[in-house]
A = this chain, B = another copy of it.
Amino acid sequence: MPTIEPTHEADFTLADEPLPLANGGRLQPITLRYAWYGDLDRHRDDVVLVCHALSGSSRAADWWADLYALGQPFDPQNSCTLCVNILGSCYGSTGPGSLDPRTGQPYGPDFPVVTIADIVRAQALLLDHLGIEQLRGVVGGSIGGMQALAWAALFPERVRRCAAIGAAPLNALSLALNHLQQQAIRLDPAWRGGRYTPDAPPLAGLSLARALATCTYKSPELFEERFARRPNRAGEHPSVSPLGRFDVAGYLDYQGQVFQRRFDANSYLAISRTMDLFDLGATPEEEAAILSGIHASVLLVGISSDWLFPPGDIRALGERMNAVGVDARYAELSSRHGHDGFLAESAQLIPLLAPFLLG
């Protein structure tokens, strides 16, 4: 399948006024890298905002290719989708690698704590710039799903439909596993408090963080099916050498190594914290008040084998939405892919998303 290129790809920079951040402080200037697919002029009142996950970019057709293929929901011939790289990322929008105007140096570890709400408010400014008053829908998986939910909650008048897949506030075990990833990066001697130079980043720490994250993105069943207790396919002998690996260990190390070449450690920490902080209210009462303001129809999708965002947590969020009158529906992907099911299970996802978002 050839990669579908964006119809338009650009940077939007807001320099004149600061973006106030939910937890204090401000960010100025901000740049948002964005891309749209399809005919924006024809679909300006009908745009679907596609929100990306931790390591994604604004090039949504790169990471959600099945949904952009000919005849599929986001086929640029028939729809217009917009995707915006999130604040904190290293793929074009303002993040830890951007210059801090106060110092003239990259923010690095001083990049402020950014929330999903901050990310969504920045996206709303881009929509103003593009003349998009109201979205037909907003959709995403994982951190992308958090953005979709925050859109519905923060801008009820601007969102008609909201689809969030594998997304809910993180539970305690998931917060724990995120913390351990953060600690792995900080353990790398190259970390240097986040003030590493571009030629000597903490690759091993980032790699270990990604390897742990990969465990949380997959399911025990899938690992058992793919690797079981086999020795690493490279021909290592775990029974003879302490450094000989099992196959699953070789796989995880490889995933880490691929990732360390394409991502930045300070960005990883920033987005990991953004993910940690996502909620729809700090208390049940506050959440109920916020949820009750949602006007959009909501589709929440859980993934049966997801242990990072257990389907029970997502179903429960749907029930809390229903309890305050939100038109929310829960559906579940039956999958062995774990959290990554939002990427791997297009054949199940498309028949859910297409009628909901475009019908």
Give A residues with C-beta under 8 Å from B: 22-24, 109, 113, 115, 169-173, 175-177, 179-180, 183-184, 187-189, 204-205, 208, 211-212, 215, 220, 223-224, 226-229, 238-242, 245-249, 252-253, 269-270, 273, 276-277, 279, 307, 310
B23, B113, B227, B307: which contacts A172 (Cβ < 8 A)? B227
Q: Nearest 10 A-B pairs (CB), nearest first?
A: A172-B223, A179-B249, A189-B189, A173-B220, A172-B227, A23-B239, A176-B248, A172-B248, A173-B223, A172-B224
Closest residue of B by beta carbon distance from A256: B183
Given known A171-B220, A172-B227, A189-B189, contact A215–B177 (CB-CB < 8 A): yes
B23, B189, B239, B253: which contacts A277 (Cβ < 8 A)? B239
Give bound CA distance, A205 to B269, whole Å: 19
Give bound CA distance, A68 to B22, whole Å: 55
B113, B180, B240: which contacts A208 (Cβ < 8 A)? B180
**4 other A-B residue contacts (CB within 8 Å) besides A175-B248, A187-B205, A242-B270:** A109-B242, A172-B220, A173-B248, A220-B310
Give bound CA distance, A249 to B182, whole Å: 10
- Is A223's CB under 8 angstroms from B176's CB? yes
Closest residue of B by beta carbon distance from A115: B239
Given known A205-B187, A241-B113, contact A212–B180 (CB-CB < 8 A): yes
- Is B23's CB under 8 angstroms from A175's CB? no
Given known A180-B252, A204-B187, A252-B180, contact A224–B173 (CB-CB < 8 A): yes
| Interfacial chain B residues near A180, Cβ < 8 Å | 208, 211-212, 215, 252
